[in-house]
C-alpha cells in the first residue's frame, strides 16, 4: 500500500472509530436564557449559563441506547429569569418552558410530544461552576445548585419517556422511572424549592410522572402509542384511516376526565396536542365535527374557544 492510500485508509479508520461517540447522545436541545428582568449583572453570566445548560443536555448520555445523529430528539428549552436575590448574587428565580418533537414516519412533519411551562424554577448558578448530576445522588451539598440539574434531568427523562412511549407501548417506562427517582430524591431547602412534592399543588413535576406511571391512566398511555404509531405514522399512505384512529381515542380521554376530573396529565397531553387535533377535526365535513367538538370542549376546557370556532 503506497503512502497516499495508507493516509486515506487511516482517515477513514479514524472516522469510523469516531462514529460511536457521535451516536451516544440522545438530545439535540437548543437553550435560551432570557434575563431582561435581571439588573446589575454581567451579561457574561447568562451567556455562560446558556452554554452550560446546552452542554449538560446535549453532551450527557441519558440512556444505554445508541442514537445516530438524525435520530436525536429535537427539543427547545427557554429559561425566563424573573428575579435575582439581593442577598445571594448566585440565586435566580424564573420559569422553564420546554418543547420537544418527534418525526412522523415517511414525512417531513414533526409532531409535538411536550409543550410545558414549569413555573417553579429556583436555583444557584455561578459563572464558572460545572453542572453535575448523579442519578444515585440527585441532591448534592448545595441543594439550590442541585435543583437546576435535577429539573433539567427530570425533563430529559420525561422527553425520552414520551418519545419511546410513542414508538412502543409503555416503552418509556425506564425513563419515567428515572424521572420518578429524581422526584423522590429531589433537593430540599426550606421553603425555597418547589415543584417536587405532592402536597404543594396539583400541577407540578410530582403529579406529571406519578400519573404517567399510575394504573388509572393506562388508557392515556395506550392512546399515546396508538395516536403516533397507528395514527400519525400511517398517514403517509392512509390519511383517512390514521385520522379516524386518532379521533376515535378522544372518547377515551373524555372517560378519563370523567373518572379523574382536573387531572394534570390530561391537560399536559393537550398542551402538546390540542392544535394538532384541532386541525384534524377541521378537515372533517361540517356535519361530522359536532361530536368531537363537544367531547373536546368537555375534556380540554382551556382550549374550548378554539374548538367552538370550528362550529
What is the pLDDT at residue 25? 87
What is the pLDDT at residue 6? 32
For the chain of 311 residues, list the mean pLDDT of each consecutive stretch of 10. 37 39 76 94 94 97 91 97 93 97 95 98 92 93 95 98 98 98 91 90 94 97 98 96 96 95 96 97 93 95 92 79
What is the pLDDT at residue 202? 85
Residue 161's nearest CA partner among 103, 208, 201, 194 is 208
What is the pLDDT at residue 191? 67
Q: How buried is residue 66: exposed, middle or buried, by Cβ count under 10 Å (0-12/13-18/19+)?
A: middle
What is the pLDDT at residue 117? 98
CB-based contact 139:185 (threshold 8 Å): yes
Can you give 14-80 as a three-state secondary structure string? HHHHHHHHHHCCCEEEEEEEECCCCCCCCHHHHHHHHHHHHHHHHHCCCCCCCCCHHHCEEEEEEEE
What is the pLDDT at residue 24? 57
For residue 110, give the H/E element and its range: strand 110-124
Give CA–CA dist 245/226, Å, rounded: 8
Give CA–CA dist 251/241, Å, rounded: 17
The cell numbers describing 110, all together, are 414533526
What is the pLDDT at residue 23? 47
Amino acid at each position: 500500500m503506497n503512502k497516499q492510500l495508507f493516509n486515506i485508509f487511516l482517515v477513514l479508520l479514524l472516522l469510523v472509530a469516531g462514529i460511536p461517540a457521535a451516536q451516544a447522545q440522545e438530545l439535540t436541545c437548543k437553550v435560551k436564557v432570557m434575563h431582561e428582568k435581571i439588573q446589575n449583572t454581567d451579561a457574561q453570566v447568562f451567556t455562560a449559563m446558556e452554554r452550560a445548560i446546552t452542554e449538560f443536555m446535549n453532551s450527557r448520555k441519558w440512556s444505554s441506547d445508541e442514537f445516530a445523529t438524525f435520530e436525536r430528539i429535537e427539543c427547545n428549552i427557554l429559561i425566563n429569569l424573573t428575579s435575582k436575590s439581593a442577598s445571594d448574587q448566585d440565586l435566580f428565580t424564573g420559569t422553564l418552558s420546554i418543547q420537544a418533537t418527534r418525526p412522523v414516519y415517511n414525512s417531513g412533519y414533526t409532531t409535538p410530544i411536550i409543550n410545558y411551562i414549569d413555573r417553579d424554577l429556583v436555583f444557584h448558578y455561578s459563572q464558572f461552576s460545572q453542572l453535575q448530576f448523579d442519578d444515585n445522588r440527585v441532591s448534592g451539598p448545595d441543594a439550590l445548585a442541585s435543583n437546576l440539574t435535577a429539573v433539567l434531568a427530570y425533563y430529559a427523562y420525561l422527553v425520552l419517556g414520551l418519545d419511546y412511549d410513542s414508538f412502543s407501548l409503555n416503552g418509556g417506562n425506564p425513563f419515567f422511572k428515572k424521572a420518578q427517582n429524581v422526584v423522590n430524591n429531589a433537593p430540599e431547602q426550606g421553603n425555597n424549592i418547589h415543584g417536587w412534592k405532592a402536597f404543594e399543588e396539583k400541577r407540578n413535576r410530582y403529579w406529571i410522572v406519578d400519573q404517567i406511571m399510575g394504573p388509572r391512566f393506562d388508557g392515556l398511555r395506550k392512546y399515546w402509542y396508538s395516536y403516533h404509531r397507528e395514527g400519525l405514522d400511517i398517514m403517509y399512505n392512509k390519511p383517512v384511516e390514521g385520522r379516524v384512529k386518532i379521533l376515535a381515542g378522544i372518547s377515551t380521554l373524555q372517560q378519563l376526565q370523567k373518572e379523574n376530573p382536573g387531572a394534570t396529565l390530561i391537560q399536559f397531553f393537550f398542551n402538546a396536542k390540542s392544535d394538532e387535533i384541532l386541525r384534524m377535526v377541521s378537515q372533517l365535513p361540517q356535519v361530522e365535527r359536532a361530536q368531537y367538538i363537544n367531547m373536546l370542549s368537555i375534556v380540554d376546557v382551556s382550549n374550548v374557544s378554539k374548538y367552538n370556532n370550528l362550529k
